[in-house]
Amino acid sequence: MTKPTVLFVCVHNAGRSQMAAGFLQSLAGDRIEVLSAGSEPKDQINPVAVSAMAEAGIDIANNTPKLLTVDAVKESDVVITMGCGDACPIFPGKRYEDWELDDPAGQDAATVRRIRDDIRDRVEKLIDELTA
């Protein structure tokens, strides 16, 4: 089996999708290809998300929000959206999931930690499913 590619999509690609991509890269290593993008990317990663991930031992400080492209969706085997609604193009034969997660933008550190921990749990389950 070829290495699966997972695309995480949220509106700004500055919090949830960046944290999910960070966990997947860290926990899956080279077993899974990881992409992230946003329908309306911000100019930088949410600093509270960067801090929360650093507490978990994962550095996302140098990541840059990226614009969601049709090609990114085409390249992916699994597309996980996080509150971006209908902004993500749908292609037959792909696995789509919508993770309902609070947006960490403007939230305090305790709230962002809770979102981070929820994302980690979901990413661990995803790794188990994709590498079984």
- Number of C-beta neighbours around residue 1 at 10 A: 5
Which is catalytic among the residues 88, 115, 119, 126?
A: 88
Q: Give the per-residue pLDDT at 125.
A: 98
Q: Give the per-residue pLDDT at 113.
A: 98
Task: Reply yes or no on whether 79 is catalytic.
Answer: no
Chain centroid to CA 96? 13
- Number of C-beta neighbours around residue 108 at 10 A: 9
Task: Reply yes or no on whether 88 is catalytic.
Answer: yes
Which is catalytic among the residues 6, 7, 9, 10?
A: 10
Q: Is the pLDDT of residue 115 over 60?
A: yes
Helix or strand or coil: residue 57? coil
The total number of structural domains in the chain stands at: 1
Instruction: Show the domain range for 78.
Output: 5-131
Q: Give the per-residue pLDDT at 87.
A: 60
Which is catalytic among the residues 84, 119, 123, 126?
A: 84
| CA-based torsion, 81, 36, 116, 15: positive or negative | negative
Task: Reply yes or no on whether 123 is catalytic.
Answer: no
CA gap 29, 112 in Å, rounded: 24
Q: Is the pLDDT of residue 103 over 60?
A: yes
CATH for 59: 3.40.50.2300
Q: What is the mean pLDDT of residues 15-29?
A: 97
71: confidence class by pLDDT, cuts 50, 70, 90: very high
- Distance between start and end Cα atoms, the chain: 11
Q: Hey, which bits of 1-132 come out as E strands? A: 5-10, 33-38, 78-82, 95-98
